[in-house]
Amino acid sequence: MFWDAIAQEYDPNLDNSQQRKLLLDHLRGALEGLEIGSVTDVGSGTGAVVKELFDKKTRITAIEPSLQMMSLLKNNLRGYNYEPIYAFAEIAEYAYSDLLLFSLSINWLSDPTLVLTRSLVPGPKYVLIARQKVSHRSNLGAGSAHRAQIQSAYKVVDEKQILFNANYALLHERKEGMPRLDGSLSADTLITRLYSKQVS
């Protein structure tokens, strides 16, 4: 698996990068003022992002399909109130948290439309989706085959339509150029959207 192969270098490469700082800035801005007692983090990776966003009292369900990433996650989240889930297929079973978080992970789902649709019934209070807009100039480590997969996933899933149909409202949206590891700006755009479940 691609993520198993890069797991050991993942955090050292990103810890002090502009990309990580920008992503955290986006996510913190979207979550400001919200009371989040529990979160389901889809594609939690090493757990570094969710660790930065939430305190040790927050109940974290960390869903991650890479064994190597999961091993690092368990070390990073030691002392936190978390449950590690080694899977992607059954996300809906764990989507009962206050927040359902997709932090640059929705494009890795084989069927994002199906996952979102199932996860929204009965649904979390909030859904936060941070993703990159992928262009032909994108510099992705997995190469052009993965770039095509991402573009296909985004063409299939219009999270606004799915979430609006499930009675969610858009609370927060932000778009910004995404820097590369070397600090230069790429053609990619970081798009962050927060949705709130409407009480009928």
Whole-number Å distance between alpha carbons of 188 and 176: 9
Which range of 3-7, 118-122, 173-177 scores highest in mean pLDDT? It is: 173-177
- pLDDT of 157 above 90: no
Look at the chain and report how many structural domains it folds into. Answer: 1
Q: Where do the DSSP E strands lie in the chain?
A: 38-42, 59-63, 82-85, 99-103, 126-133, 168-179, 185-197
Structure tokens at 40: 């389901």
What pTM value is reported for the model?
0.86
Domain that holds residue 142: 2-197
List pLDDT tens digits, range 94-150: 778 999 999 988 877 777 778 888 888 878 999 999 988 765 444 444 455 556 666
The CATH number of whichever domain residue 39 belongs to comes to 3.40.50.150
Task: Phi first, then psi: give them for residue 26, nearest 5 degrees.
Answer: -60, -50
